[in-house]
Structure 1
Amino acid sequence: MEKIKLALVDDDYLIVTLLKSFFNQDQSTQVVYDTTDGYQLFNYLEEKNNERIDILLLDLKMKTIDGLEVLKHVKTNHPELKVVVVSSHYQDNSIGFMTKEGVAGFLPKGMSPFELLDIVKQVHKNGFYLNKDQMEILREQISSKVSKPMLDEDELLTDREKEIIKLLCQQKTAKEIGEHLFITQRTVEGHKNNLFTKIGVRNVAGLIVYALQKHIVTLEELSLN
């Protein structure tokens, strides 16, 4: 089984050291890069021979460069990299903003390493993490701010796209969706990217919020832990 490759960026050296030790002891994860300076991460990502990163665990408030700047740089230059922000400055009223910025998860510091490990696995499998409380908050925050589509609602999405959204809301992977719909994984990824563009979101979490707003799915139908 291939391990989930992690990067840790936090200006608290003790936190970085402890998390690195914890993740490297687990059979499913490996920390391939860690730093207390966000600028050093940029250098690592630009080196083509460096080991790939699946998930970046990122602090918000750091001395040399703040986490939001790091997030913006990563999502602009390495959009495939999933970013989970873990911060002592976590606030419920920031969930909508962080989701729009493209994070795969927004978490408070202080949770147990085992809980964080479980969330890392969910992000790696599903592309995002939102618990039910966060989903409720997110729906309220974004509902009044989502821009209206230029087309009529019935014309905006095809039946196939709605079907794919429903399966994504059930946390199905592209491979699982392809098998269910008898299409290739690459075709599923193409549909997903088209949906991001059509709806104006950056990740699956944004698709889920849209699906809730447009009654494509209900909160009870979501497969959230």
Structure 2
Amino acid sequence: MKPRLTIFDEPMLYTEGLSKLLMQSKIFNTIGICNSLETLSQNLKDQPPEILVMSSNMLMLTELYKSIEDIITRYGNIKIIVLGNSYDVIDIRKLFNKGIKSYLDRNSRYDEFLKSINAVLLNEIYICDHAKERMISFISNEQDKRNLHIKEPLTRREMEILRFICDGFSSKDISGKLFISINTVETHRKKILLKLNVKNSVGIVKYALENHIID
């Protein structure tokens, strides 16, 4: 069954246009539009969507943190995509720590928006290209940033998969590109997490950026 989507954003002309464009893609069963916290709360209560897009137009950053925490606590299965106002690296990291699955700048293109949707539907994370560039700049300008050390080096294959993960590819995509099974990709992914001592793909991207693997 196709997933449901809710868009929490304004103005109405923009959200209605985006809704119609997404319906043409035939990805979603229904698309709800909310322009206030009251309508969003009612929408989530009546029929929680699989994916929720939350815009920086609607809330201050501190309010956005709080709303994400509340939504994740009440509706843990909802995958949240945030459209941010070019937030800095620290704010983006905090959003992922709060539980979002994808971050896009508001100037991201429609095709990148679709990539983020497909990624979260596959339980992957997604970070837009503009945000990745800011992460690289942030890390390169930190004079006292300590290098991360791992107990066991990554193999050539694990490095290949790490780069694909950082580019936002799903395990299915990676298996097709490397001509290996999805189970093999998942095994490599678990080993990468273990070797880097991180919990998820966000940690993998952070490690790769800090060590200039994906410069």
Deviation at 1:59, TM superposition (A): 1.7
SS of residue paired to 2:126: coil
Amino acid at match of 2:92: M
Query: Matches of 2:59 and 2:131 in 1, distance apart?
Result: 28
The residue aligned with 2:113 is: 120
Any idea what the Cα deviations from partners look like across 1:19-66, whole Å, max 9, x if unmatched? 32332233345543332234654565566xx4642x422122437993
Q: Report the TM-score, using the length of structure 2 for normalisation.
A: 0.65
Would the aligned equivalents of 1:23 and 1:30 in 2 still touch at CA under 8 Å?
Answer: no
CA 1:193–1:166 in structure 2 vs 1: closer, same or farther (change >3 Å)?
A: closer
Contact 2:3 2:29 in 1 (8 A): yes
Q: TM-score, normalised by structure 1?
A: 0.62
What fraction of aligned residue pairs are identical, expressed as a percent? 18
Alignment CA distance shift 1:75-1:98 (3 Å): farther
Shift of 1:8: 0.3
Question: Quick check: 2:193–2:204 contact (8 Å CA) kept in 1?
Answer: no
Q: Answer whether contact 1:161 1:191 (CA < 8 A) is retained.
A: no
Aligned equivalent of 2:210, options 205, 209, 213? 213
CA RMSD of aligned residues (A): 4.2
For the residues of structure 2 that align with 1:51 and 1:107, how far apart are their CA atoms?
Answer: 25
Contact 1:3 1:30 in 2 (8 A): yes
- Alpha-carbon offset, residue 75 of structure 1: 4.8
Structure 1 gaps, min length 5: 220-225
| Deviations 1:102-136, CA, capped at 9 Å, x for gaps | 15123226x7xxx33x12221133431422x4322
Distance, in Å, in 1 between the alignment partners of 2:94 and 2:158 is 21
The count of corresponding residues between Structure 1 and Structure 2 is: 200
The answer to whether 1:135 aligns with 2:132 is yes
Partner amino acid, structure 2, of 1:34 = I
Match of residue 223 from structure 1: none
Query: Offset at 1:168?
Result: 1.0
Unpaired runs of 5+ residues, structure 2, are: 120-124
CA contact 2:104–2:113 (8 Å) conserved in 1: no
